[in-house]
């Protein structure tokens, strides 16, 4: 994605749509400032949009500040705090925590009595622990649409947060308290997402394409031992109806004329009937767009042929299908609940229909045997030879908090970070080797990642010579003296991602 320099980006300041005429008799609206911390990717800030869209526009004026787009995020936030009811911050584990702390502290220094509310993945997993940070007053767990609205109502009415389901708070004695969780809600009960809350055109420019991000479901039914989703959503799932999706996407297309929709769901292809209904919606509305969504190998295996054909007809161009390992033994251990034959089936089906695939893998699980890593690298090579439109990024396992495999690692002596500062240094992307990856194995994997990417990519010019050499290396599993890698990375340095 094309980002550009932050110094070239003016401040993003988006407010909610004007109140309904019936609201003119109401008192002035309460300002709520929402902040999206700095991170090096430019998906649209839909988590904040979902929360903000559920608030009554007759009562609340929403201001969204996106730290990714600001030269001085703290100054951009404090400039909006005059008369604010609260500051809300969405927080991912890792580098975004550092920025969230910095901005929260700046807000408190500017407005000491201003309540600061954290939500998002990290606050969902460590609700009480986050309150050790003095600048944080409340944390929201799981679905925040209803919880955050209730928190605001109680703050406005100066009521205690005791009994407010789905949040943690600091009591009058300063001791963090956790309320019971809020029951999982059907997201069809939530308001339509208000894309007026941010500058959509600006994100098109940052992405380098007119691609709209959209979330049509929350949660996941599956039990992967490396994923935090089962911990946060308790393996529940809810999705918009096909009719709602079709209507909303058509309304958004009429306004923004995007070319592609990128679904940010955990598992878009959860129910075949819903998928087919959505495809029918796009076909009947004749929208000139393509789309991409998340799919499991077993979901592709069970999806009827006619449904997959409809998806292609409706514009499906790519699926993201996490396979994680080429070893069936490891897949069983991490409770992925897929079979390798389902992976091969999905790859052949996508090739037949001309559907691109992004197929992530993970290596370096605790005590993972060399044979398991080799099986993964062999499967990567096999998939890459099927189609140049198949991408196979390889990540290193990181003990993401709340997962069962992390709990096992802790029981075996691994120490998790103990405070927010340590969690802010946690590389949740998993782009470097963990404690279970020896330096020799890390070097082998990094060299393989480079050569497999070059070997089956669409290369032109002088890169074709490099491609043939890379294919030879992959066939022979010979990755020593990687002079080609050194030269290539000198010519094309990789961006540093969070």
DSSP code string of 15-65 = EPPPPPGGGGGSPPPEEEEEEE---S-----HHHHHHHHTS-TTTEEEEEE
Q: What is the pTM of this model?
A: 0.89
Instruction: Determine the pLDDT at residue 14.
Output: 37
467 and 457 Cβ atoms separated by less than 8 Å: yes
Q: What distance in Å separates the CA atoms of residue 111 and residue 104, rounded to the nearest whole number? A: 10
Burial pattern 121-143, b for ≥16 Cβ within 10 A else e, equals: bbbbbbbebbbebebbbbbbbbb
87 and 226 Cβ atoms separated by less than 8 Å: no
| Structure tokens given for 95 | 């580098």
Question: Which CATH code fits 209-437?
Answer: 3.20.20.70
15 and 61 Cβ atoms separated by less than 8 Å: yes
Regions of the chain short of the pLDDT cut 70: 1-27, 428-432, 460-462, 494-498
Question: Which CATH code fits 6-178?
Answer: 3.40.50.280
Instruction: Determine the pLDDT at residue 429.
Output: 60
62 and 84 Cβ atoms separated by less than 8 Å: no
90 and 61 Cβ atoms separated by less than 8 Å: no
Instruction: Determine the pLDDT at residue 425.
Output: 87
Instruction: Determine the pLDDT at residue 387.
Output: 95
Instruction: Determine the pLDDT at residue 3.
Output: 37
Q: What distance in Å separates the CA atoms of residue 76 and residue 99, rounded to the nearest whole number? A: 13
Instruction: Determine the pLDDT at residue 398.
Output: 87
Instruction: Determine the pLDDT at residue 278.
Output: 98
224 and 42 Cβ atoms separated by less than 8 Å: no
Chain center to CA of 193: 17
Left if phi > 0, otherwise alpha if psi is -120 to 50, otherwise beta: which for 335? left
CA torsion sign for 61, 184, 335, 351 is: negative
Instruction: Determine the pLDDT at residue 231.
Output: 85
So where are the chain's domains?
A: 6-178, 209-437
Instruction: Determine the pLDDT at residue 343.
Output: 98
Q: What distance in Å separates the CA atoms of residue 416 and residue 365, rounded to the nearest whole number? A: 15
Instruction: Determine the pLDDT at residue 23.
Output: 42
């Amino acid at each position: 994605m094309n980002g550009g320099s932050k110094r070239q980006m003016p401040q993003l300041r988006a407010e909610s749509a004007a109140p309904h005429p019936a609201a003119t008799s109401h008192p002035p609206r309460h300002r709520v400032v929402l902040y999206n911390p700095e991170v090096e990717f430019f998906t649209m800030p839909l988590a904040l949009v979902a929360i903000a869209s559920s608030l009554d526009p007759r009562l609340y004026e929403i201001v969204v500040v996106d730290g990714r787009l600001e030269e001085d995020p703290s100054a951009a936030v404090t400039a909006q705090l005059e008369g604010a009811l609260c500051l809300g911050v969405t927080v991912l584990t890792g580098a975004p925590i550092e920025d969230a702390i910095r901005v929260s502290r700046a807000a408190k220094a500017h407005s000491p009595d201003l309540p600061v509310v954290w939500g998002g993945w990290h606050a969902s997993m460590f609700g009480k622990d986050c309150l050790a940070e003095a600048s944080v007053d409340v944390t929201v767990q799981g679905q925040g649409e209803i919880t955050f609205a209730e928190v605001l109502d109680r703050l406005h009415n100066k009521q205690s947060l005791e009994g407010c389901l789905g949040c943690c708070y600091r009591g009058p004695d300063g001791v963090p308290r956790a309320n019971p969780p809020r029951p999982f809600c059907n997201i069809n009960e939530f308001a339509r997402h208000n894309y007026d809350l941010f500058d959509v055109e600006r994100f098109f420019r940052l992405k380098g394409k007119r691609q709209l991000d959209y979330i049509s479901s929350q949660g996941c039914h599956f039990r992967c031992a490396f994923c935090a989703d089962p911990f946060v959503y308790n393996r529940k799932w809810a999705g918009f109806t096909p009719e709602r999706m079709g209507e909303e996407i058509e309304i958004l297309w009429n306004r923004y004329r995007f070319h592609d929709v990128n679904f940010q769901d955990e598992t878009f292809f959860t129910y075949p009937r819903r998928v087919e209904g959505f495809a029918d919606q796009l076909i009947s509305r004749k929208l000139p767009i393509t789309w991409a969504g998340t799919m499991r190998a077993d979901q592709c295996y069970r999806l009827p042929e006619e449904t997959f054909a409809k998806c292609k007809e409706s514009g499906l161009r790519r699926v993201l299908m996490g396979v994680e390992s080429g070893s069936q033994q490891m897949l069983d251990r991490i409770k992925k609940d897929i079979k390798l034959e389902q992976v091969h089936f999905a790859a052949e089906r996508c090739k037949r229909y001309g559907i691109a695939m992004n197929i992530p893998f993970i290596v370096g699980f605790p005590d993972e045997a060399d044979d398991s890593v080799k099986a993964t690298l062999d499967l990567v090579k096999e998939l890459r030879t099927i189609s140049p439109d198949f991408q196979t990024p390889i990540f290193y396992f990181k003990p993401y908090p709340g997962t069962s495999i992390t709990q096992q690692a802790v029981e075996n002596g691994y120490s998790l970070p103990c405070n927010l500062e340590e969690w802010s240094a946690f590389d949740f992307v998993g782009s470097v080797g963990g404690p279970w990856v020896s330096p020799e194995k890390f070097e082998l994997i990094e060299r393989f990642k480079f050569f497999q990417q070059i070997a089956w990519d669409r290369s032109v010019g002088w890169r074709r010579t490099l491609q043939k050499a890379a294919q030879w290396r992959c066939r022979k599993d010979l990755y020593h003296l990687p002079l080609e890698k050194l030269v290539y990375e000198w010519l094309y340095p990789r961006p540093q991602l969070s």
